[in-house]
Chains A and B, each alone.
Chain A
Amino acid sequence: MTAPKKVWEYRTLITNLAMRDLRSRYKKSVLGWLWSLINPATTLAIYTVVFGVFLGVEAPVAGNGHSKLFALYLFSALVAWNSFASGVNIAMQSFLAAGGLLTRTYFPPEVPVIAGSLTVLTQTAVETVILIVFMAIIGNLGWTTLIVFPILLLLTAFAFGIGMIVSLLNVRYRDVAYLVALGIQVLFYATPIVYSEDIAAKHPWAADLLKLNPMTHFVGAMRHSVYLLKAPTLLNWVAMILATTIMTLLGWRVFSTKAPRYIEEI
């Protein structure tokens, strides 16, 4: 197993790899960095129109006591969701992409995956800042707003843990990429993002099932702290910390014992 200490020695490389990805990502595109805002903005617009306007899903009253904006209610959940979905995907991509390097020079195989997570974290940070700016505009800020930072850090680690496992499997079985894409799509609707937990509560079995999904708790905690301006529930905290701890430890263990062999197959 690779010791975290060993990986820490390569911290310069981690940041350099992350910087490389960020720098080269929008090279040769006219809009450049704007793309990282256009994509989530478009998703947000589509969901707002389809679910908020056409289907008439209503947002609860925000923490300031008067606003009731479905778009922001949705945005606070989407920030968390995007972080998770991109986190899992980037792990697969960056491990595959680093294959060429890993067969030519030695460095711990965790390094590119961590670097990938860092790029996602950067993107998430940008989206979070925009979210908070919007919340400030409607006057919906409170001390709980600060809780989004630990939540998103936990979420990044959670996605990193899952990402390490699927990125290994993806090297051996190329079905995994398709399965993951499918799984993420299913999970999106199995998480209260475009609807609220209260709606699901009309079907008791569904509400119970939702509680088994760790993402329900991440998204719920986000909405509590940034939209409703309430502290996340104890259940949210327990589920988030437990899920993150288990997935990170498991992912690290599996990855660091198996990756050296899998590299030869990339």
Chain B
Amino acid sequence: MAGSIEVRGVSKEFRLQADRPTSIKEFVTRRGRDKTATHFWALDDVSIDIPEGSMYALVGHNGSGKSTLLRCIAGIYRPDTGHVKASGRISTLLELGAGFHPDLSGRENVYLNATILGMTKKQIDAKFDEIVDFAGVEQFIDSPVKVYSSGMYVRLGFSVAVHVQPEILIIDEVIAVGDEQFQRKCFDHLYGLRRQGVTIVVVTHGMGTVETMCDGAAWLDHGVLQMEGPAIEVAAAYLKKVNDAEAEDRASHRTVSATSGATTESVDGPGEIEILAIEVRDASGAPTTTVEHGEGMQIAIVYRAHTALEDLVFGHAIHTDNGVLVAGTNTQRHGLETGRVEPGLGEALFVIDECPLIEGHYEVTGAINDRHVQHTFDRRDRETRLLVRRGTTRAGVGVVDIAGDWKVRPPQQGLTVLPAPPEEF
């Protein structure tokens, strides 16, 4: 069946450069050395099936073997064990402007690149205008490609790769180079190709792409297949693993910094009460710096009171890492009477059931004020960092997710266009 890909038990071993004698002298003097230590397996017994006409993603961190697997599928690398069966004409876009000769014009490079991908001159003639038009480089088509910007380079490369009428299209992370508009255009085009029955294999770090565009996915880690299946499931499992690893990483950092004993300076507080820490905690109350979108979380203001105080107002604020205030509130606004605080250690908790923040970096501020919010006892301004991860629930774009439901009404009687309300400001 044209377009389907079968990968069976594929392993690929690489030698580290130091191992290989590069001159005859070394070849003679290094004979008989143990070579096993300097080899590593870039792919270890990987088996996947990619059905015809599907869009398939390979995910994993850098160095996990994704690109090696792509090259094995494309026939560039020969696996050491196992086999790859990829039937149909393969078009590859593995690196930016691969196959472009800097001194030749865009026109000459299009012809050259398309013949590398297996087209004849006649076929290219027929597609040429379409290729140039898609890439949007008409003005520069007769200039040498070395004067192209990296965006133009990737656009032209992508345009050639998708217009050679492939049955299998293999794309490494190159699309990420183009601007937003071009990326959208690329994905639209890929979508169209998929509808025509082209099998598309992509390597990507964008889980949004995986979830929304791909049918299937495989997750590789150190050359070993971790999971294969529907794209949404694989993306969720991979994200969870990444988030967990990051949380662990932060946790180990935390214990180090806690022992270093950073002292705090109060803003203008006379020392009646001081903030010891502003903490982000997960739903169970354990300290963290990473929260998934849609998960429960808490913001804790840990304080030590040195004298007894009454009617304090605790407040928090969240900023994006580029300084935009996202939200802020305090106990007074929530109508909470805090009563009397005796000397000693205490904390004020702000509990969030579902983190509405969309993935990104944020900074948390905490403050303790008097009842009129005139005098600030202590304040920690944007010192606590919070990283929100894309969670398993789907989020919109922007900074926060606004809860709501969609209702789409089909055309029907009784619906009228109401006049716009008068402008009030």
Contact = CB atoms under 8 A, between A and B. Distances in A.
Interface of A: 9-10, 12-13, 16-17, 20, 23-24, 27-28, 100-107, 172-175, 260-261, 263-265
Given A12-B120, A173-B23, A173-B27, A104 B108 contact: no
Contacts of A264: 14, 77
Given A16-B115, A17-B112, A175-B23, A103 B103 contact: no
B101 A20 contact: yes
A101 B108 contact: no
Interface string B278-295: 000000000000000000
B241 interface: no
Nearest to A106: B75
A104 B113 CA distance: 12
A173 B115 contact: no
A52 B410 CA distance: 97
10 contacts: A16-B112, A20-B104, A27-B103, A100-B98, A101-B116, A105-B76, A172-B22, A173-B22, A174-B23, A264-B77
Nearest to B95: A104
Given A101-B116, A104-B76, A104-B94, A23 B99 contact: no
B111 A105 contact: no
B375 interface: no
Contact of B108 (A23, A174, A260): A23
Contacts of A101: 98-99, 116
Contacts of B112: 16-17, 20
Nearest to B80: A261
Interface residues of B, number: 33
B318 interface: no
A24 B78 contact: no
5 shortest A-B CB distances, which residue pairs? A104-B98, A106-B75, A13-B115, A104-B94, A12-B115
**How would you classify the secondary structure of chain B's contact residues: helix, strand, loop or mixed?**
loop
A32 to B, nearest CB: 13
Nearest to B98: A104
Interface in B371-424: none
Given A10-B118, A17-B112, 17 more contacts: A10-B115, A12-B119, A13-B115, A13-B118, A20-B104, A104-B76, A105-B98, A105-B99, A105-B117, A106-B75, A106-B76, A106-B90, A107-B116, A173-B22, A173-B23, A174-B23, A265-B20
Contacts of A265: 20
Contacts of A13: 115-116, 118
B24 interface: yes
A16 B23 CA distance: 34
A9 B116 CA distance: 11
A8 to B, nearest CB: 13
A103 B95 CA distance: 10
A79 to B, nearest CB: 29
A265 B20 CA distance: 10
B140 to A, nearest CB: 17
Given A13-B116, A24-B101, A24-B104, A106 B111 contact: no
Interface string B149-171: 00000000000000000000000
Interface in B91-114: 92, 94-95, 98-99, 101, 103-104, 108, 111-112
Contacts of A103: 71, 76
Contacts of A28: 103
